[in-house]
A = this chain, B = another copy of it.
Amino acid sequence: MADRLLHRLLPASEWLQSYRKGDALSDAMAALIVTVMLIPQSLAYAMLAGLPAQVGLYASMLPLLGYALFGSSRTLAVGPVAVASLMTAAAISKVAPPGSDQYLAAAIVLALLSGLILIAMAALRLGWLSNLLSHPVIAGFITAAGILIATSQLKHLLGVPAGGHTLIDIVQELTPQLVHTHYPTLAIGLGTLLFLLWSRSHLKPLLQRLSLPELAVDLLTRAGPALAVVASTIIVAHWSLDQSGVRVVGEVPAGLPGLSLPQFDIGLWQTLLIPALLISLIGFVESVSVAQTLAARRRQRINPNHELAGLGAANIGSALSGGLPVTGGFARSVVNFDAGAVTPMAGVFTAIAIGVTAILLTPWFTFLPNATLAATIIVAVLSLIDFAIIRRTWRYSRTDFSAMALTMIGVFLVGVEAGVVIGIGASLLLFLWRTSQPHVAVVGQVPGTEHFRNMLRHEVITSPSVLSMRIDESLYFANARRLEDTVYNAALQRPGTRHVVLQCSAVNLIDASALESLESLSQRLQSAGICLHLAEVKGPVMDALQAVDFTEHLSGNIYLSQYAALADLDPTSLSVG
C-alpha cells in the first residue's frame, strides 16, 4: 500500500528500487551522446527565443531532474525545444523588448506558469483537455511552425538585422536587407548547413567503414552540430572574424545558475496565462506522443497524469533556475532511446554533464557564431516539416484538411498562438457541422424477417400509414434541431402518414437539447395529426428518459423493436415469414 502510494506520487521510486550498475552504465553512455547533441541545441533554442545563450543551458539541468522524479516515461529527454522556444519568443516579445531584463524575466514567468498549469491539469485530471488538439491541427501547426522557424533564422545566416513574428513580417523585413548580406557570415552559415545536411546521411556509413568502435560511431554521428560549433568557433577566434562583423554569442557567464523566485506581477501573469496554456498543451501533446511511441517499443506504459506532473516539475525547475519553457524533444528522445537509455537516470546524468559544461566550457562559446546556431536550428526543424501528412489528410478528409489548412494559415499570417486557437476553434466547429447533419434513413421490413433496413439500399416492405426512420447518430445539441426538422418535413411530405416510428438502435445518447427537440417534434407532429413513437431505445438512454416525464410528452409509445411497433400500428403491412 505505502509502496503504491509512493509510486503514484513519485514514479521515480519504482525504477530507483531496482536500479543496478548495468543500468547506470547504459544510462551514462546515452547521457553522453544526448549531451553532445543538447549543448548546441540548448544554445540555439535560447537564441531562437531571443534569450542569452546560458539560459538554454540553465533550462537543461533542473528540468531534467524534475522530469526524472515525476515523469513516467523511461526515455523521454526534456529541455528547450524549437516550437516551444518560438512560442516563447512570440509571447514575451509582446510584453518586453528583446534583450531587456524584463524580457528574460517574462520568459521565466512563462516557464513558471506553464509548470503550474501542467501541475494543475495533473491534479484535476484534465489531461483530456489535450484532446482539443486534433491530429491534423497539431500536424499542421508543427509543420507551419517549422517553416516559420527556418525562415526566421535566415537573418542569422545572412548576417543582417531583421525581425517579425509572422511569415509575412519576416519576409518583408528580410527582403530589403538582402543587399546588405554579410558574406563571411553567410559562408560560415552555409558551410555549417551543408556539413550538417551531409552528416545526417553520410557521416555514419563513413565512420562505420573506418571500423571505429560502436560507441564512437554513435557519438560522432550525433556530434555533427557540436563539431560544427567547435570548428566555426575556432575559425572565428583564429581570424578574429567577430571584429569584421560576424555576429557571435559573446561572453557567457560561467557557472551554475542561482536559484531564485520568478517575479510576481499580476498584470504580467494575466497577459502570459493564455500563451502559457497553449505552450503547455502543445508541449504535452507532443511529449506524450513521443513517450508513448518509445514506451511501446519496450512494452512499457506511460501515464498521462504522470507526464503532466513530470513536465510541470520540469518547467517549475526551469523557472527557479532562470530558464525558459521546456518539454520533451522528439529527436533528442529518440537518440536517448537508441543510445540505450533504460531509466530517467540518463536524464540526471545529462543534467550533470550540462552542469559541467556550464562551469568549464562557457569561455569557448564567446566566439561561437550565431550563423552556426541558426544552421543547427534549420537542420533540426527540417524534421518537423512534413508535407506527406498534409497530402494524406487532403486525400482522407476535406473536413480534417480544412482544420489543418486554417491552422497553418493562422500561424503564417497571424502568429503561432493564433494558429493554435484558430485550429482548435475550426476543428470544433467542423465537428459540430459534420455531426449536425447525421445520416437518417427511411427503413422498411426485410420480407419474412423482423429486420428493418434502409429502403434505398434494400428490397423492403413499407407501411403507407407508418413512416419508419433510423437515425445513425447520438442526438445532442448540435443535431437536435435539424433532426427535428428532417423528421417533421419527411412526415409532412409523405401523404397518408399517421405515425412516425424512430428506430433508436444507433443512438448512444439523448442530451437535454435533443429531449426538448423530441418533445417539440412530438407536439408539432401532433398538431399535424401525426403520432410520434420510438423503438429500440438503449437501456441507459431509456433510464434517463424515465427520470423525467418524457413519456407524457410523447404522443405515441416506446416499443421494444421496430417490428413490435409495426405489429401494433399497422399489422396488415407486415410480411410474415
A377-435: which have CB < 8 Å to B? 392-393, 395-397, 399-401, 404, 427-429, 431-435
Interface residues of A toward B: which range?
A: 35 or more
Asked if B433 and A128 make an inter-chain contact with CB atoms under 8 angstroms apart, the answer reads: yes
Verify B131–A399 contact, CB threshold 8 A: no
Please tell me if the beta carbons of B512 and A396 are within 8 angstroms of each other in the complex.
Answer: yes
A131 touches B400 (CB 8 A): no
Q: How near does chain B come to A300, taking the closest CB pair, in angstroms?
A: 10
Looking at the assembled complex, report how far the CB atom of A305 sits from the nearest CB atom of chain B, in whole angstroms. Answer: 12
Tell me, yes or no, whether A472 is within 8 Å of chain B by CB.
yes
Copies in the complex: 2
- Contact partner of A523 (CB less than 8 A), chosen from B296, B429, B512, B528, is B296
The CA-CA distance from A133 to B491 in the complex, in Å, is: 26
A458 CB to nearest chain B CB (Å): 13
Q: Contacts of A134 on B, CB cut-off 8 Å? A: 476-477, 511-513
Q: How far is the CA of A525 from the CA of B516 in the complex (A)?
A: 44
**Contacts of A136 on B, CB cut-off 8 Å?**
512-513
Query: Are B433 and A477 touching (Cβ within 8 A)?
Result: no
A431 touches B548 (CB 8 A): no
- Asked if A296 contacts B527 (CB within 8 A), the reply is yes
Q: What residues of B have a CB within 8 angstroms of the CB of A180 in the complex? A: none
CB distance A544 to B397 under 8 Å? Answer: yes
Indicate whether A517 reaches chain B with its CB closer than 8 angstroms: yes
- 9 examples of A-B residue contacts, CB within 8 angstroms: A128-B436, A131-B432, A131-B482, A135-B516, A299-B492, A299-B528, A395-B547, A400-B512, A428-B428
Q: How far is the CA of A439 from the CA of B539 in the complex (A)?
A: 13
- Known pairs A516-B135, A523-B296; A395 contacts B548 (CB<8 A): yes
Report A518 CB to chain B, min CB distance, Å: 11
A32 within 8 A of B: no
Closest to A137 in B: B477
A209 CB–B CB distance under 8 Å: no
Whole-angstrom CA separation of A492 from B299 in the bound complex: 8
Check A244 for interface membership: any CB of B closer than 8 A: no
Q: What's the minimum C-beta distance from A488 to chain B, rounded to whole angstroms?
A: 8
Residue of B nearest to A133 (CB): B477
Q: Does A352 contact B (CB under 8 A)?
A: no
Which residues from chain B contact A433 at a C-beta distance below 8 Å? 128
Instruction: Kindly state whether residue A520 has any CB partner on chain B within 8 Å.
Output: yes
Q: Is A8 an interface residue (CB 8 A)?
A: no
